[in-house]
Structure 1
Amino acid sequence: MTAHKATPSRDRRRRKGSGHAAARGRRRSLWGGLVALTVLGVTGLAATGWTSLGGAGGRADIGDATARPTHGSTPAPGTTPKPSPSRTATASPTPPKPDIPASGPGTYITASGGSAAVGKGKVLRYRVEVEKGIDLSAADVARQVDRILADPRGWTADGHSAFRRVSGGASDFVVRLATPGTVDRMCATKGLDTGGQYNCSVDGNVMVNLRRWLLATPVYAKTVGTYRALIINHEVGHFLQHGHVDCPGPGKPAPAMMQQIKGMHGCVPNVWPYDENGTYLTGPAVP
């Protein structure tokens, strides 16, 4: 805030008038400055709420959280100052994509502990492993797999499949989260070309492509966790000897054993083998 001084004069009356004008100018400038500070204070408080939270990577990007006045200028009395555009609070529109290594060592970390048996019938024991070098917790991945296999819309709804996770000893199948290159190498042992993009199930190994686990597909891009259920249900379904099927009709739920990554063909998204009423969701067999 700048103080203005009256210019000296020999005329006493003019000096007296100038003094009153200066006082009025100072009062106006002081009042204008208080208004400006109040407005800026409110603006700063509002701007601190701008945050953007990431998805799959769990990172949060926080924009410039405080709007600041433009320095070097004094607002005119009775006007509202505008914050500098370069200082206006901003938020990242989308979180950065995770860094996905193309390949890994092909060795794994096994999730410790285990789970209670779920379902009826023969209990199938499974392990959950994460390839070394992947920045994901094996324990967290195991918890997600446990929830998927225990869901009442999953394979336990067939009435004869039960599952229990183990961390040692004999197992019936292994869920392995691995880099695209490692998945490709394992799947190729049975002549499957996964092209760095797909998952597979071979010789009791449910191979989960890290790219799909983190990014899903365009249809499920906003619900990555939901797509993970489709990966597990589809590949465990192959282990249970279920083959591929097609869309049963426009507007109907896409079967879990449909290759949804290659197109929905009129079906609506669905990641479970059974619906909430226990009805198996399937379609025409794919040769």
Structure 2
Amino acid sequence: GPPPQPPDNHLGNVPRARAASGGRAGRPEHREPGGAWGAGAAAGAGARYGDWRGVPRDTDTPAFGTPAVGFPQVTLDPPLSAPPAPAPPAPRPASDAVTSTGSHRRVPAPRKPADADAVADASAVERPGSGRGAKVRTYTGMAAAAVTTVLAVVVAGHVATEGDSAKADAHAADDGRARSAKGQAAASRSDDRATPDPSAVQGAPAAPEMTYEQRMAQQLPIDEKLKGPGTFDTVPGVAPSPGKGKVIRYRVDVEQGLGLDGQLFAEAVHRTLNDDRSWGHGGTKSFERVPGGEADFVITLASPGTTGVWCAKSGLDTTVDNVSCDSASTDRVMVNAYRWAQGSTTYGADQMLAYRQMLINHEVGHRLGHGHVNCRTPGALAPIMQQQTKSLDIGGIQCKPNPWVFPGS
């Protein structure tokens, strides 16, 4: 009959198991602390499966027939003659390839934590070395992987939402600070700005331009001892003579640095001289302003100091009463800028237009050959050649101010 079979218990097939594990046949195996099989397991290089005592941490599935782990193992010397190879065992119910010992005993499988290692083994694999080639299916690991993924998505979304919210809050705060800073900067700038003219506001009516008469009626600030540089600017352009008769050409110069309106002065000279109440009365003369070339005289607006210099050239002293003159030895008729700006006490501040007309007619009258004349009738209009800037009371005869050569015309 067939040779006797080794008992089917936890001591069976020890030589093959020991040969597979590298142990020495015939001697008890001394396990190292921790329940691992050999130094490789103790090193933990391939450890994966938790802390159930005696279960190797290797991922390879033990071959069918490997002794149950966790029990002391004793190896027996082989018989003198090797028995024939045993017949394949009868098929048995499917068993867990990881925990089966190959006998009628079943050892409970170790509990596996649902960690990253378990997720890594979620797929079904065919274990090498198994005679049956069973596939491992770890649905628990798959479920754990799904839960972990969901949790990761939820956490990531929550973090992203919080990050976006924090960014939005920071952005809003920055915008608020920027608007506040801009508002403060705008307020600071506006503090230094002058209050705008209401007439400049859009929609508001523009201030009407002042008329010639209004501009000529204004007093202007000036130093009574002002002495300019003695250099002049000629008012450009031509103002043609408007009437008939003899044409007298003149030029207008304005000393630099006076701060007075030279164009207004030139307009006043032309209007006054060509008024029918002036020296051209009855069409006998007409005055034309020219910017250069041949001119009969140069009517000059100058500072008190410069006026004194030019008047002294003709033996006249204008510094005593700060008056004007016709510098007959030169081509200049000097109009004192102080008198042009401030007028005189004989006319008063409310008669600036009339005083300026008188000043032009009086000094040009000297250039035309007329000397001083005093008032002879009390209460009458003073003659144009009277020194009206100094006084309207000459020899006890009080007269009225008069700017014209022919005032009754």
Under TM normalisation by the shorter chain, which class is it?
A: 0.5 to 0.7
Map 1:190-205 to 2 at 5 A. 190-195=314-319, 197-202=322-327, 203-205=330-332
Report what 1:227 is aligned to.
Answer: 355
SS across alignment from 1:118:
coil
Residue 342 of structure 2 aligns with an amino acid whose one-letter code is L
* Percent of aligned pairs with the same amino acid: 44
Aligned with 1:162 (options 286, 290, 294): 286
Please give the per-residue CA displacement for 1:49-91, whole angstroms capped at 9, x wherever unaligned: xxxxx9323xxxxxxxxxxxxxxxxxxxxxxxxxxxxxxxxxx
Mark the structure with the bigger radius of gyration: 2
Cα deviation, residue 260, structure 1 = 1.1
Map 1:243-254 to 2 at 5 A. 243-254=371-382
Report what 2:163 is aligned to.
Answer: none
Structure (1 or 2) with the greater strand fraction: 1
Contact 1:125–1:164 under 8 Å retained in 2: yes
CA gap of 1:158–1:235, structure 2 versus 1, over 3 A, is farther
Map 1:139-178 to 2 at 5 A. 139-157=263-281, 159-178=283-302
Contact 2:235–2:253 under 8 Å retained in 1: yes
Question: After TM superposition, what 4+ stretches of structure 1 lie above 4 angstroms from structure 2?
Answer: none
Residue 240 of structure 1 aligns with an amino acid whose one-letter code is L
1:184 and 1:207 mapped to 2: Cα distance? Answer: 9
Q: Structure 2: which 5+ residue stretches go unaligned?
A: 1-216
TM normalised by structure 2 equals: 0.43
Cα deviation, residue 238, structure 1 = 0.4
TM normalised by structure 1 equals: 0.61
Residue 372 of structure 2 aligns with an amino acid whose one-letter code is H
2:386 and 2:377 mapped to 1: Cα distance? Answer: 12
The answer to whether the aligner puts 1:209 opposite 2:341 as a matched pair is no
Tell me which of the two structures has the higher relative contact order, counting C-alpha pairs closer than 8 angstroms and 6 or more residues apart. Answer: 1
Aligned length: 185
Cα deviation, residue 275, structure 1 = 2.1
Residue 308 of structure 2 aligns with an amino acid whose one-letter code is D
2:225 and 2:234 mapped to 1: Cα distance? Answer: 20
1:234 and 1:268 mapped to 2: Cα distance? Answer: 16
Q: Structure 1: which 5+ residue stretches go unaligned?
A: 1-53, 58-96, 278-287
Map 1:98-113 to 2 at 5 A. 98-99=222-223, 102-113=226-237
2:312 and 2:282 mapped to 1: Cα distance? Answer: 30
